Amino acid sequence: MEGTLLLYVLIGLAVGAALSIRDPRRAILWLTLGVLFWPLFLPLLFSPRTPAPKPPRKDLSALRDEVARLDPPLPELVAALDAADRIREGKDELGRLLETQQAALAQDEPALAKSERTREVLEARRADLERLRAVRDEQEERHLRLTAQVREAITKAHLARFSAPARQELRKHLLRLSDELSLLNPNHPG
C-alpha cells in the first residue's frame, strides 16, 4: 500500500508542478490540489493552453474551385459564394465589435452600477450587446445556410449529368437559391 501511495504522490507532484508552471499565479493551489486530486486535473494538462487559433477558412476557396470546375457553369453558385463572403466579412466585423464592447462594458460595469441614472445606461448597453450578439448569430446562420446550399447544388449538378429528374431537382434548387439571394440583395437578377 505504501508503494501505491508513493506512486500516487509522485504522479501528483508531477501533475501539480506542471499545472503550477502553466498558471504561476496560483502555483501553491495547483501544487496542493494537484498532488491530492491529480486524476481530476490530468485532462487539464492535455488541453490547449489558449484556445486554438481557428483554421484558415479554406472552405469558400475550395468551393469556388469546385464551382469553377462545373460544366455547364452555374453563375447562381458564384453569386451565392460572393454573398456568403460578404456575409462572413460582416459577421467577423460584428464579432470584433462585440468583443471590444464586451471588454469595455466589463470595465465600466462596477462604476455604472453605482447609481440609478448610470444603471439605466448600463442596461441600455447590455441590451445593445444582446442585439449585436443576435445579429452576429443570425449572420453566422445565414452564412452556413448559403454555403450548405452551394454544396448541395454542386452534388446535384454532378447527379444532373446522369438523369432527367436530377436535372429538374437541380433547377428547383437553383431557383430557391436565387430567391434567397434576391432576398439578401434586392439588386440580384434572380
Q: How far is the CB of 107 from another protein (least distance, A)?
A: 9
Cβ-proximal residues to 54 (8 Å cutoff; 6+ apart), any chain: none
Toward another protein, which CB reaches closer, 30 or 83? 30
With contacts defined by CB under 8 A, name the span among 38-46, 63-71, 86-94, 140-148 that binds another protein: 38-46
Give the Cβ contact number of residue 88 at 10 Å: 20
**Binding positions for another protein, 130-189, rule CB under 8 A:** none
Q: Give the one residue of 6, 7, 39, 134 binding another protein; rule: CB under 8 A.
A: 39
| Rounded Cα distance, 71 and 166, in Å | 15
| Rounded Cα distance, 125 and 20, in Å | 38
Torsional class of 98: left (φ above 0), alpha (ψ -120 to 50), beta (otherwise): alpha
Binding site for another protein (CB under 8 A): 1, 5, 23, 26, 29-30, 33, 36-44, 46-47, 50-51, 102, 105-106, 109-110, 113, 126, 129
